[in-house]
Structure 1
Amino acid sequence: YLSSADFAMREELSLKAAILAEKFAPDLSWYVDVILQLIDKAGDFVSDDIWFRVVQFVTNNEDLQPYAALKAREYLDKPAIHETMVKVSAYILGEYSHLLARRPGCSPKEIFIVIHEKLPTVSTSTIPILLSTYAKILMHTQPPDQDLQRQIWAIFSKYESCIDAEIQQRAVEYHALSMKGAALMDILAEMPKFPERQSLLIKKAEDSEADTAEQSAIKLRTQQQTSNALVLTDQRPANGTPQVNQLGLVKVPTMSNADPSTAEQGLTHANGALTVVDPQPPSTTSPDLLGDLLGTLAIEGPPGPGIAPQSDPRVASGLEGGVDALAIATIEDQTNAVQPIGDIAERFHALCLKDSGVLYEDPHIQIGIKADWRAHQGRVVLFLGNKNLGALSSVQALILSPSHLKIELSLVPDIIPPRAQVQCPLEIINLHPSRDSAVLDFSYNFGTQLVNVKLRLPAVLNKFLQPIPISAEEFFPQWRSLSGPPLKLQEVVRGVRPMLLAEMANLFNSLNLMVCPGLDPNANNLVVSTTFYSENTRAMLCLIRIETDPADRTQLRMTIASGDPTLTFELKEFVKEQLISIPITSRAATPPMPPQGQPLSPPTALLSSDPGAMLAGLL
């Protein structure tokens, strides 16, 4: 079920599965099997506490150590595994791989090779664990294997100058320790048993006093803490005939202990500009939190709103001037077409380079985006904010998804209350490489006016890239193995926007393409590496070489290589698009139009062709 469950619940589901496995495991080998399967199926949602607990069990039970080491070795044979699986497998094999030495395929050198193959695919937080594993393997190799020793020493030497302090310190210390001979055995001996203590996972379960729904409600209540929103509900009599002056006001509860009581007096809007869309009767006791938060008509006003008496003539005459404290305003029909605020294309290009921002805005609504990308999966939240004092009705959102993306959109409310914001999560899975964009077909009614826009979603190819550093020892064998089309493609790109090499490097870094200095002997060239993730290709290493001519910055030669023909072509075209047309995220610096009769100022054209100005706009 973890493979198809909603993304919002996978982390909670993984934690509970781990707790249940620990509490009711018939034996420890079964527990190890279950947790390793859990990491394999839902690695992105498995917390470190879960694999820490596996290591604790294996360390404290000698009979379990050979079995756990064998299972870890089997998982490493898979072509693509999650980084959490690399961590736990490397730790266990570093400590106990010597117990498998007599098994085929489990010699120290073979164990080292299968672990080292995963190094280019992991992040900097995992590299220290792999360095510890290499040191342990070297310590357990008796008699010493000179060839294996040279390989591991070379890795330690490489990372001795790493910018990450943790990696650098381990590399320096392990390199020095590994030259101490027999003394290495005492220093790098097996970890002692952990003291018996209560499981952190079970303690978390026992300490939590609220279930998932209650925690979600607390989170929503916290978000609404500063809100003074009021929910209008229609109080209908028993005979079904609506009465005048029977609109009840219900205050949305906050984190304070104040009694969220309802107002007994109502409001009337005789001209019909204010309509009631919630047919449910209000609660005269403490209102239901989720019911109030999801109410279809909310009016935001200052604290302690005053309500005009029913006998006040200003109420009967259309709320003119008498209910300013409630921030209710008459909404008149607008005849002019709604124009977006800002450039939609610029907003899209800006979100291609960052994970949060505004996708669309007009006088009535603002659509914001916040995204989180992990490997080939992404979670995007759309924030739909009503900017007006009147509700937006007939709200509809449809995702037009290309074939390479699997997108699930949660339910979009039909009505967005005044001055309110709703969140609509999207779950995205990248199936295979492609440059096509998903489109959000969004529409709403404001009064009698229908607004419909089609917006590209920034779920683009570079969102599924993860920059990865690569050394000369790793680059050149990979580069030579990918020989010729369709895995390696080369093209001379003309019409490139002129820019300095440093500006081009910054552009690549913003696209999750890591520039690796020192690999190309020509100072005018760039070597770039990254890892692409999709459900079909899993983690796929991509290598790029850019050859530039200082005398002519408008053209360059680009060579791209990967293990998948489609990925190579799509990445080549994607990079070419970025080089030919660099997205400029801001044009706020453009001078305003001069009055009639005044000639246009030439610096506007100069600004658009100035590389420094373009880079400033890009950043």
Structure 2
Amino acid sequence: MALSGMRGLSVFISDIRNCQNKEQERLRVDKELGNIRTRFKSEKGLTHYEKKKYVWKMLYIHMLGYDVDFGHMEAVSLISAPKYPEKQVGYIVTSSLLNENHDFLRLAINTVRNDIIGRNETFQCLALTMVGNIGGREFAESLAPDVQKLLISSSCRPLVRKKAALCLLRLYRKNPDVVNIDGWADRMAQLLDERDLGVLTSSTSLLVALVSNNHEAYWSCLPKCVKILERLARNQDIPQEYTYYGIPSPWLQVKAMRALQYFPTIEDPNVRRSLFEVLQRILMGTDVVKNVNKNNASHAVLFEALALVMHLDAEKEMMSQCVALLGKFIAVREPNIRYLGLENMSRMLMVTDVQDIIKRHQAQIITSLKDPDISIRRRALDLLYGMCDVSNAKDIVEELLQYLSAADFAMREELSLKAAILAEKFAPDLSWYVDVILQLIDKAGDFVSDDIWFRVVQFVTNNEDLQPYAAAKAREYLDKPAIHETMVKVSAYLLGEYSHLLVRRPGCSPKEIFSVIHEKLPTVSTTTIPILLSTYAKILMHTQPADPELQKIVWAIFSKYESCIDVEIQQRAVEYFALSRKGAALMDILAEMPKFPERQSALLKKAEDAEIDSAEQSAIKLRAQQQTSNALVVTDQRPANGTPQIVGELSLVKIPSMSDDQHTSADQGLSQANGTLTTVDPQPASGDLLGDLLGPLAIEGPPGAVQSEPNAVSGLEGVPSSADYAAIVPVGEQTNTVQPIGNINERFYALCLKDSGVLYEDPNIQIGIKAEWRAHQGRLVLFLGNKNTSPLVSVQALILPPVHLKIEISLVPETIPPRAQVQCPLELMNLHPSRDVAVLDFSYKFVTNMVNVKLRLPAVLNKFLQPISVSAEEFFPQWRSLSGPPLKLQEVVRGVRPLSLIEMTNLFNSLRLTVCPGLDPNPNNLVASTTFYSESTRPMLCLIRIETDPADLTQLRMTVASGDPTLTLELKEFIKEQLVSIPTASRPPAPAPPAAQPTTPAALTDPGALLAGLL
């Protein structure tokens, strides 16, 4: 843009560039804004030149990142200026400063329309550009007919028509009704005959949007798209300016092929033959060259052609050619090309029968597992998983096991799950399967879910020939000096049941088996101890007549645990101690477990539900699935009265299939074995009805494998109490006749400090929450549980996100069955620092009662903090460099809840602020640091200093510093709120749920409960 002759603007820009620091820049900007505001308010009218100059300055200040909240009317008024320089400024600045909902835009609609229908092509282009940038429903309703006339006008220059096509595309996206399908389909086909490639490219962009909504109306455009591709493939009549590194208009080729993927079939044999000739030419003519720009363009065309080939289900010969081409790509040095090659091979596995051809590249795919780029490693893992069958399963699983030791922690869970699924699905014999799973547990125990070792136990129990081999392998692993707790569980269970089959082997006498298992007891958690107690009882049973020495040792252990605070351990110890005194009758009481009924494997069901992720779906399938729900419904099959059973069978209803990545994270709260479900997390208190639903009744897997710990549930924390509040504050006044259970104000603050708990509860429903946070992204799962024996209907869950959060939520079923639970995943992304909170607008109908609540979600500022400890050498240079406001803010905070330094340190740790001891020489002060993550900023180091007064703990001085002024302000206010506003434990306790809650010291192990007690 030409700024010559505007001396004042040039001087202002020079002044800004010469500022030494941000504070000087802000002062200069404030001075200029004050001057502009004064001139705009002056009674003396401004000339168009002066108005233009000041509006340019406003735009420059806006580009620097400062708020410009005045002068909008002056910018809009320049649109009606008669001369081009002023009109240009008006359009540019209006496009930059105002959004589609701004009231001032309505004042300009008539002027913009006059420019569009006028004869001045320059003014037409300015108007179309602004409308295309701003869009908006009012613009769409007022200007769409005029834009359509320009687009189809034969008297307009191509430059105007090109802009008209893009402008109409924006208006159509805002309001699809502006394009009349009946009258526009033929016009759209005529536009595809255009010779000018600029107009043709813009029109094809419009076509892609139209056919994505309704391809039926645009069948006449299909042969036209094929002719466009023929013209480009033969390089006929293609101007030099549309040839990119020798490739005729790659953008147009991609758009045309994208449009064709929205049509289900091509019935005309001539059109189909012409299209395949073009695709053949693209496949044959694409290779990897040294020029990166040419590679990018040619491969954009190639991979869109591959997607179209898969969509059209081409002949086997062409598919083989595609695989051969992809085989070359996965071997090149350029990582982007390798990634695309692996991804498209995975897609081809989904839609065509090319598995045998892809197997030829197995060695190269395995090599990609060791690639430095984790995204390539993930795609290689997906591809190996998809191409595995009986013929190559052994090689692939062994490679996965070797790779497991060196794999990233982010991949190990997915890698373990897929290796277990492949081992079960394609095992040549059961002993090999047992070897694989035990190796898996040994190498990656932290990432092996319980349903994997449950499945091994089921196989061993149901196959007598396998039992001695499995017990012997378990005995071998116990000789290792350090093994994972999951290995202790599976080994203890197998040896408890089948160690008597090994008595003739060295080192396998009952006393030796007991000793090697008992060595592991001090290293295991309370959830494993009950399994070991069951094993001791089984070993005693198999040593009838009794070995007095061994019997004495085991009785002493049982006696020790008879007073254990854990109810499950205590009950087993008492019962086994009593049973072990029955002598020979113990053989009948503790006989071997019967065979498990044959049901579908939990792992294979998981493989079917999550066969391959969205990256491997064809373009049409992917777009269709975006409209479906990811929710899981878990249904309880207990009697209506809720009478406890030993085994409560649960069914899993999928709505619809989720990706592997989604299963491995969203299903962490549930472990599915042989068609039923069991909890992975410890069990809830008996007062938690939903906890009972998914608690100890949902047992599938080896008896004794599911333990109870009273303060947690499957995917949820325990029942809320005054010491462990766990839900969200409803927003606004609630007028529902159904009243919530518990103090919901306390629950919000509790979930600010921890990542799981009860979000909301009333007599009909319990909403739980479980979250994971990584840098600026988060994944949150809502657990919606029906507590009644009647369904909840008209269920709706909407997210009202603040502007700084991008949230995607899966659809929730309209009905939650009786005593069922729905899991609803949310994906969150933090765009910039803010204390605003997202709101869940949730409603349901029970019988005749309609209940609606608005619940704040705990996606708060501290969830996007990452604790980091800094040394004195790192802290002080950073602290000094942030000299003052707005990067460093200080405030004396009064009305603080009295906290000792230890209590404040615990609070800060819960807020993800790392307290750095020894940095402040005053022992009454506290220094903390953390790192903030958002999409719009690099990771930002934040430093906090708290100065307390021992004589008056209700006040303190707080200093917060960071490299971003908004972050500094928001973090200071957030910490202030936490210090002043969190409810204390001294408040009246929240009302308890209907069922009685057992009081147990186990709750003290919950960090949230511990913190609540401190506060």
TM-score (norm 2): 0.29
Question: With CA pairs under 8 Å and 6+ residues apart, which has the higher RCO, 1 or 2?
Answer: 1
Greater strand share, structure number: 1
Greater helix share, structure number: 2
